Structure 1
Amino acid sequence: MEFLEGLDPQLKLFWYIAIPVSLIFVLQTILTFVGSGGSDGIEADFDGDLDGGEAPFQLFSLRNLTNFLLGFSWAGISFYKLIPNTTLLLLISLAVGFAFVYFFFLIIRQIQKLGEDNTFRFEKTLNTIANVYLSIPGHMQGKGKIMVSLNGSVRELDAMTEQDKIETNATVRILRVESGNILIVEKL
């Protein structure tokens, strides 16, 4: 830290911000790749969301503060000798800090588009083909079981039919959902 003693106060301030923030950034990056602490920036520890906004992440978080201060301080250090006007240097540093946060939001939005929703919903089974696991009594007189493959997983679900009895190992098509979790099927 001896190299900071002979610097101008403004440049010294940029360095005092840049060094700890850079260390925090490196630590956050390592924790993200290890798998812990990776949700910061998507959820905050305090109520920082804007009313009426439907953002998938929080505006005020430690990660966003780190990104802002990282851009602000390193821009100030980088442009210190090129821009002698203090006000202009601060404005450019602020703009770079806000740009870091904005680019982080863009990156997070693109990453979230890669996510896949594998939540099981009965409606997703409509018009799919299934195999009868336990015979289904005819004319809605009782329930049987079918095996449905959906999104790479096989599920055993309750089924009824309006037709005659459907025997085990028969192939059926799912027509509709009743009572929220009973599938109405027809034999193929």
Structure 2
Amino acid sequence: MYAVIKTGGKQYKVAENDVIQVERLQGEPGEVVAISDVLMIAGADKPVVGAPLVEGASVAAEVVEQTRGEKITVFKKKRRKKYRRTQGHRQLLTTLRITEILTDGKKPAKAKAALKADAKPKAEAKAETKPEETGKAKASPAKSATAKAAKDGGAEKKTASKAKAADKDTGEAK
């Protein structure tokens, strides 16, 4: 069975276990997202074409990763006018693995929801590593505080040397 879905202004022909890249969708890796814009469903029996969408149909997909596309160069030029503009662009993308094609208003299977539960410990593991990183960030200001103290000490030395120079100047003037 396959379906034609619409997301990000584009249409994709998908079947179960297909991996596709679409424009950025909200969701963390491991989460299950439902795409309700299904234009057509075809399989063993007669294809069902929506007008414009198939009623009660949706496609469940697991977010594999959030990524960025290849860089493209946008170049504008007007000849003989000394006008040139160059700009780069990288599209934000989401990689999806199609898990189910659902009809008649059904919801994703509970086994797929278990995938979502498995993703939570990974997120917690990431959260555990973040405090260590913030600890490193806290160590940096302490280093910068000692650096500031050293700079202040250097400033005192400069003012002391200036004071000695001033005493010499006044001594010579007498």
Task: Give the alignment's TM-score, normalised by structure 2.
Answer: 0.26
The normalised TM-score by structure 1 is: 0.25
More strand, by proportion: 2
Greater percentage in helix: 1
Higher RCO by CA contacts (8 Å cutoff, separation 6 or greater): 2
Which structure: larger Rg?
2
